[in-house]
Structure 1
Amino acid sequence: MEFPTIDPLVAAGVLASTAATDAVYVFFNAAVSTRRRVAAASWSSAWYLLSAFAVISYTSNWVYVLFAAAGAWIGGFASVTALDYVAPPLKKRTEEDQRP
């Protein structure tokens, strides 16, 4: 089995678009959890637009799935980290509020 050729720009594009897609998915879920309809709808729309590039790219070459997986991991990790700074979890917020 021969290893397919990888275009570095497409690979970087797939990695970046899936990282962004996963980050948007996390923010979409946060908006749904807090019942913000307009924000949830907007994040959902962005989610589908961003995923289109990655899906089109890796369906033409299976190797790009590896870059998509790496981008999804990066996007999920970075966005949950960002959520901790923007809106700390309720448990943390409660502990901070109880300090004298």
Structure 2
Amino acid sequence: MDIPPFDPAIAAGVALSTAVTDAVYVFFNAAVSARRRVAAASWSSIWYLLSAFAVISYTSNWAYVLFAALGAWIGGFLSITALNRVAPPRGALGSERKE
């Protein structure tokens, strides 16, 4: 199976837009878990706006799905890294709260 020709600029745009989209999705889930309604609703709307570019791009050429997957991995990794710096995961050494 041959990969169809693709535009490197669009491929980079798809990877970047899905990285940001995935990061926004992680922050959306964090807001939902914290039951912050306005933040969750805001992250949700941003999530859908950002995903439009990638979806439109890779529906016209399936090769862009590979760049979307790469961007999603990068976005998930970086956003969890950012969340862990702000608030370490529960049960992590030294993260116990005194009541």
Same fold (TM over 0.5): yes
Indicate the structure with greater helix content: 1
**Structure 1 match to 2:80:** 80
**Structure 1 match to 2:6:** 6
Identity of paired residues, percent?
75
Q: Which runs of 4+ in 1 moved over 6 A?
A: none
Structure 1 residues 10 and 91, CA gap change in structure 2 (3 angstroms): same
The two structures, once aligned, show a CA RMSD in angstroms of 1.3
1:2 shift after superposition = 4.8
Equivalent residues in 2 for 1:16-31, closer than 5 Å: 16-31=16-31
1:90 shift after superposition = 2.5
Structure 2 length as normaliser, TM-score? 0.91
Unaligned 5+ residue runs, structure 2?
A: none
Structure 1 length as normaliser, TM-score? 0.90
Equivalent residues in 2 for 1:1-100, closer than 5 Å: 2-92=2-92, 93-94=95-96, 97=97
Unaligned 5+ residue runs, structure 1?
A: none
1:5 shift after superposition = 1.2
